[in-house]
Structure 1
Amino acid sequence: MTRILHLSDLHFGLERQPLVDPLLDRINGARADLVVVTGDLTHRGRSAQFAQAAAFLRRIEAPLLAVPGNHDIPLYKLADRMMRPYRRWRRAIAANLEPVGHVGNLRVQGVNSVDPMAWQRGIITPAQVARVIAGIDPACINIVALHHPMQQRPQVDKALMQGAGPALARFEAEGVQLVLSGHLHLWSIGAFLGEQGRPILQVQAGTALCARPGDRQNEFAVLDFAGPDLLVERHVAPMTEPGFRPPEHLRFIRRDGLWRPA
């Protein structure tokens, strides 16, 4: 069995402070083989917020892979956003904006989906898609981790990432099996499988720490891979409660190249 812990949208600078230590306890208690953080470590991309985020990440005991989100670049300082959008990220978090993690039979490819020109919407380019496909390992479960979702439910009012549709089609055709994302602060898994299943299972994380009242809860997920089976533990901390509830469990199985709920 190989275990990935997925969290997103920490938003240091607008974090739910009393939940920081309980979240770290759960993360380290999970003893994951890899922790994947899909962006928005900070709320406004400021140096002090990056310092908070970096201090938090240093307390995670497992290997770590993180990609930027749109909140991790400057919003109001347009010159910085255009000329050096990732300066603070590189100083505080990592020089590589698209890291690769390889644990057990899992290969995780990070993709930087931030678009400094549009700020919120996000973009995935043909060159990024080509890099992902070039790195696909036929012996592994191939996972893409990025901030912006590749599909959205009809009720979502944010614009879908530019290039998402063609990129998803290429990923499905070439052997990507799982996509981890965040951005919407809305949990979703299995929403796009359909009755017959799909080659890619998409896991869209809620926010792990943001204290914005409209989010209603914080959460993260633990993914256990055992052969074709995937067990997902969803850990939820409602805003009206002091900490995390016992985890909810969901199961998926991959047969004949397609994911289905088990």
Structure 2
Amino acid sequence: MVAILHGSDLQFGRPYLPGVGAAFAGLVRSTDPDVVVVSGDLTQRAKAREFVGVKKLLDECAEWPLVVTPGNHDVPLYRFWERLLDPYRNWRRTFGPDLDTVVRVPGATVVALNSSAPRRAIVAGRLRRRQIHFAEEAFRSTAPGEARIVVTHHHFVPTADGEGGRTLPEARGLLREFRRMGVDVILGGHVHQTHLSSSLDLSPDERPGVPLVACGTTASRRGRGVESQRNSLALVRVAPGEVRVTSYFFESGSGAFEPSAEWTFSPDSDAWTRLRAPGEVGRP
């Protein structure tokens, strides 16, 4: 089993909550995952000082393998010429030149695909054919029985309340490609609330489904819908034939992220099943 601590939408800048960010780093240390994933929108306005701040936070977790991917907030919105000519300048200075990355840990291959599209679809995002080929090549050397995990920022399946706006263009076809590759789970953010779905929501006849886990905003004031003014993340465990998710919410009383509820997804059920309700889950 591979354990992934999955946060998203830190949005370092004006909306960022330093105490909650510190609690995120603390949870990394206490859960000791195999890999840490932050699925985009690490900054609020892609400013150099915001990248410096978020890098300092993530450096507190340097003991663990880290997977990051850009979100639409990680490229300039109002600095038009920078967005047009060099939108990833500050990202690359902070996290390196590659926007699509592969991280291999014992038992898993994690492929992060940059779904931001600063020149065309800055909010809704986009994945390109070359990125699908990139993922396919990365998984080609993944051993049988090892987990195959994809990370993007933007979401594929609409939320029930419509928060998060439009999904990725051609989402159904993209999920079909990931299913063909044998992907075990897709992690993302953007919608600012916990959202569990699967490829079956778009293609109900194409079984088994690929589960998707969208994380809420982990450390900003910008929670949406049922998670308005709340901060969340997920501990995702991937084993052969099962994906198990424990959601965590920041509690101001304890100043820490506390486990809330637990779900599982398996090919046998092809649906998310809640194992424990909020308040019934103890710390791992």
Match of 2:263 in 1: 250
Contact 2:211-2:265 within 8 A present in 1 as well = no
Contact 1:126-1:167 within 8 A present in 2 as well = no
1:251 is aligned with what amino acid?
Answer: T
**Which deviates further from its counterpart, 67-76 or 230-239?**
230-239
Contact 2:100-2:131 within 8 A present in 1 as well = no
CA drift at 1:218 = 0.5
1:182 is aligned with what amino acid?
Answer: G
Match of 1:168 in 2: 175
Could you list the structure 1 runs, at least 4 aligned residues long, displaced by more than 4 angstroms after superposition: 191-197, 238-242
Match of 2:58 in 1: 57
Per-residue displacement from partner, 1:32-68 (whole Å, max 9, x unpaired)? Answer: 1111111100000001111101101100131101110
Q: Give SS of 1:20's match.
A: helix
C-alpha separation between the residues in 1 aligned to 2:183 and 2:49? 37
Contact 2:102-2:138 within 8 A present in 1 as well = no
C-alpha separation between the residues in 2 aligned to 1:79 and 1:36? 30
Per-residue displacement from partner, 1:66-96 (whole Å, max 9, x unpaired)? Answer: 1100000111111110111110001112322
Match of 2:44 in 1: 43
Q: What are the within-5 Å matches in structure 2 for residues 110-149 of structure 1?
A: 110-117=112-119, 118-136=121-139, 137=142, 139=144, 140-149=146-155
C-alpha separation between the residues in 2 aligned to 1:245 and 1:177? 26
Count of residues in Structure 1 that have an aligned counterpart in Structure 2: 261
Percent identity over the alignment?
Answer: 28
Contact 1:198-1:259 within 8 A present in 2 as well = no
C-alpha separation between the residues in 2 aligned to 1:9 and 1:68? 10
Q: Unaligned 5+ residue runs, structure 2?
A: 276-284
**Which deviates further from its counterpart, 57-66 or 17-26?**
17-26
C-alpha separation between the residues in 2 aligned to 1:125 and 1:192? 19
2:28 is the counterpart of 1:27: yes
Q: Unaligned 5+ residue runs, structure 1?
A: none
Per-residue displacement from partner, 1:190-244 (whole Å, max 9, x unpaired)? Answer: 4665699643110011010012365321011111233323332211125798443
* CA RMSD between the two structures: 2.4
C-alpha separation between the residues in 2 aligned to 1:112 and 1:120? 13
CA drift at 1:152 = 1.4
Match of 1:2 in 2: 2
